[in-house]
């Protein structure tokens, strides 16, 4: 059965936390959900049999899937809440009411109160949050009130009212929960110091507060007031586990558009995040086919205009990864750190994952197009004259010059061709000489291909730097193949690519598919060479050990080699096993020799 386009899209989603949105054929949002693993969650809609008609109808109606990547599952929950409240999809039952997540507020007033609220009003007050649940906020408020005495009344504590002695001390003062600012018992500067400590706690700087709580817990414990000590301990643990803020919402950032871009040889991907009243309300990625010599800066400038018009954005402030002129009416910022930079990073992640999604879909729907794209990209990145359809990679392995071997692994169309893998025993090199060994193995490999009139590789990769590369190039010149076959070297430490004639190494993006392909070849060649070297060492050790045993001829030697593989295993064999294999007399004799 042929997979639908939405099923293919679901399979290409990243295994990251985020929010997914289902659209129908009229581009109406059907459902918004969150997931710890987007790929698993969204794919489950198309792979499981559903119990309810409602779910069956939902899945049947899905025509398009969009997703927004975030950092954590909690961020996904908060973003899901914002989007459901904005769009009110018909299949979402939970979170559709007007209930919002709680904020912690430091009220803008004389001797400010600190309390929690579900509405962040633009009245000049400070709002922190939102928090995942009320319990977290209440615990935090209890901790704050335990450490810092604050007023809870809603009196207007103007200087005039206090001087006129309009208020009287209440029970909170006598319970030592308040210092009595209503009657002038605390100065504004002292109260502000308490607020600074509270802000530190809210923002996650707990050092002083933790010390104060720990001392209090010890005091209660020393005076045998264990119940009180336990309560302080619980608050201490809550404070330690408290997370100060979410990347999804920031009360300091409002009505801002965020744009980033990522691109490859053929396409550019521009992500747009819209922030309204401190919350992300939209994320959209635009795919653009690149024109000849068109820069990312030019593409981003045009895309910003297009996306702002499409989504009717009237924001006067824009965050970008680099500076672009958008006219006098729009303020452009290029954040370098803090919450603003976090939004840029988040937008760029979404753009990159969108590109990865597209590439995965191409791979699923049209594997040949996927391979062709990788080969084209490798040709550009490595500055080759043709696509590296046939690549061979060589590596050496020896231990202080003993049992030297080499390997050749072959990739065709970006995939291992294991039937063409070859192992080589180094015959003409004495001692640990990697350069000479590389020359020998490449010569033997290419000479045979030429003699047998087999197809030659487009690209040869040697595991090593300039030395190994020079060795390989010498052989190509010797065989008059230096104009037919390209060759590069890859150095392990910094993943530097060396090319003949270039004094400086070539650095390829660490996340590029070209470098990943080269690394895969290098690692496969290393694995293949190491395994062959270990086999030779084991057999060599076994043979030398057996040669010292009396009464063991060629036939018996082959029998022991076949059975035990290594001399270490032979030495650990029991007397019963050796008797069963060789007979009573010979088995006892060999067992005694091995034992001694």
CATH value at residue 356: 3.30.420
Do 209 and 172 share a domain, yes or no? yes
Do 395 and 525 share a domain, yes or no? yes
Helix (H, G, I), strand (E, B) or coil at 508: coil
Per-residue pLDDT band at 561 (split at 50, 70, 90): confident
**Does residue 121 belong to any structural domain of this protein?**
no
Do 529 and 430 share a domain, yes or no? yes
Per-residue pLDDT band at 272 (split at 50, 70, 90): very high
Do 386 and 263 share a domain, yes or no? no
Do 391 and 511 share a domain, yes or no? yes
Do 515 and 391 share a domain, yes or no? yes
- C-alpha 156/C-alpha 500 separation (Å) is 80
**Does residue 571 belong to any structural domain of this protein?**
yes
Expressed as residue numbers, the domain containing 578 is 548-595
- C-alpha 407/C-alpha 404 separation (Å) is 11
Per-residue pLDDT band at 96 (split at 50, 70, 90): very low
**Does residue 249 belong to any structural domain of this protein?**
no
Do 79 and 168 share a domain, yes or no? no
Q: How confident is the model over 11-23, as a mean pLDDT?
A: 91
Do 386 and 431 share a domain, yes or no? yes
Q: How confident is the model over 164-181, as a mean pLDDT?
A: 87
Do 382 and 531 share a domain, yes or no? yes
Whole-number pLDDT of residue 85: 79
Q: At which of 485, 503, 535 does a domain end? A: 535
SS (H, E, C) 40-94: HHHHHHHHCCCCCHHHHHHHHHCCEEEEEECCCHHHHHHHHHHHHHHHCCCCCCC
- C-alpha 29/C-alpha 23 separation (Å) is 4
Q: At which of 535, 558, 577 does a domain end? A: 535
**Does residue 115 belong to any structural domain of this protein?**
no
User: Which range in 132-136, 286-290, 332-336, 572-576 is most confidently predicted, on average pLDDT?
Assistant: 332-336
Q: How confident is the model over 392-417, as a mean pLDDT?
A: 81
**Does residue 513 belong to any structural domain of this protein?**
yes
CATH value at residue 521: 3.30.420.340
Whole-number pLDDT of residue 276: 76
**Does residue 99 belong to any structural domain of this protein?**
no
Helix (H, G, I), strand (E, B) or coil at 187: coil
What is the tally of structural domains in the chain?
5
Do 155 and 227 share a domain, yes or no? yes
Q: At which of 335, 363, 391 does a domain end? A: 363
Q: pLDDT of 453-473, one tens digit each?
A: 898 999 999 988 888 888 889
Do 391 and 488 share a domain, yes or no? yes
Do 211 and 286 share a domain, yes or no? no
Quote the crossing angle between the two packed helices 226-241 and 207-222, to the nearest 10°: 160
pTM: 0.50
**Does residue 16 belong to any structural domain of this protein?**
yes
């Amino acid at each position: 059965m042929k997979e639908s386009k939405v099923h293919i899209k679901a399979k290409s989603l990243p295994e990251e936390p985020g929010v997914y949105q289902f659209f129908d054929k009229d581009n109406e949002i059907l459902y918004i959900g969150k997931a710890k693993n987007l790929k698993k969650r969204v794919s489950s809609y198309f792979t499981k049999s559903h119990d309810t008609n409602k779910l069956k109808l939902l899945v049947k109606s899905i025509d398009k899937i969009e997703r927004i990547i975030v950092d954590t599952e909690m961020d996904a929950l908060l973003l899901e809440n914002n989007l459901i409240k904005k769009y009110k999809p018909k299949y979402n039952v939970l979170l559709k009411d007007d209930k919002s997540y709680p904020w912690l507020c430091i009220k803008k007033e004389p001797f400010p109160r600190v309390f929690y609220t579900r509405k962040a009003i633009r009245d000049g007050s400070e709002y922190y949050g939102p928090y995942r649940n009320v319990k977290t906020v209440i615990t935090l408020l209890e901790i704050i009130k335990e450490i810092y005495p604050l007023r809870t009344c809603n009196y207007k504590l103007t200087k005039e009212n206090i001087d006129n002695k309009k208020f009287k001390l209440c029970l909170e003062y006598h319970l030592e929960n308040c210092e009595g600012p209503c009657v002038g018992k605390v100065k504004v500067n002292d109260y502000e110091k308490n607020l600074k400590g509270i802000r530190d706690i809210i923002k996650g700087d707990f050092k002083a507060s933790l010390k104060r709580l720990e001392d209090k817990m010890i005091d209660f414990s020393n005076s045998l007031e264990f119940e009180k000590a336990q309560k302080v301990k619980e608050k201490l643990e809550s404070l330690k586990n408290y997370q100060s803020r979410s990347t999804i919402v920031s009360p300091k950032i409002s009505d801002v558009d965020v744009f980033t871009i990522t691109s490859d040889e053929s396409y550019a991907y521009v992500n747009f995040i819209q922030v309204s009243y401190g919350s992300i309300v939209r994320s959209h990625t635009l795919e653009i086919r690149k024109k000849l010599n068109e820069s990312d800066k030019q593409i981003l400038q045009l895309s910003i205009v297009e996306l702002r018009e499409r989504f009717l954005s009237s924001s006067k402030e824009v965050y970008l990864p680099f500076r672009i002129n958008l006219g006098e009416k729009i303020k452009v910022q290029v954040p370098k750190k803090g919450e603003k930079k976090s939004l840029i990073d988040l937008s760029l992640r979404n753009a990159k994952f969108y590109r990865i999604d597209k590439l995965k879909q191409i791979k699923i729907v049209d594997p040949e197009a996927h391979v062709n794209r990788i080969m084209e990209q490798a040709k550009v990145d490595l500055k080759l004259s043709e696509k590296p359809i046939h690549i061979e990679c060589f590596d050496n392995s020896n231990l202080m010059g003993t049992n030297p071997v080499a390997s050749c692994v072959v990739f065709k169309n970006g995939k291992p061709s294991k039937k063409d893998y070859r192992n080589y025993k180094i015959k003409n090199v004495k001692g640990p000489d990697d350069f000479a060994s590389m020359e020998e193995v490449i010569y033997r490999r290419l000479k045979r291909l030429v003699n047998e009139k087999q197809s030659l590789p487009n690209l040869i990769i040697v595991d090593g730097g300039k030395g190994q590369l020079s060795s390989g190039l010498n052989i190509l010149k010797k065989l008059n193949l230096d104009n037919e076959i390209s060759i590069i070297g890859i150095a392990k430490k910094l993943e530097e690519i060396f090319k003949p004639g270039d004094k400086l190494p070539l650095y390829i993006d660490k996340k590029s598919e070209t470098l990943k392909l080269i690394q895969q070849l290098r690692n496969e060649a290393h694995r293949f060479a190491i395994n062959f070297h270990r086999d030779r060492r084991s057999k060599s050790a076994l043979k030398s050990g057996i040669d010292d045993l009396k009464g063991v001829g060629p036939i018996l030697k082959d029998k022991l080699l076949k059975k035990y593989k290594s001399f270490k295993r032979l030495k650990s064999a029991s007397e019963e096993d050796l008797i069963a294999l060789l007979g009573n007399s010979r088995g006892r004799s060999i067992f005694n020799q091995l034992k001694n």
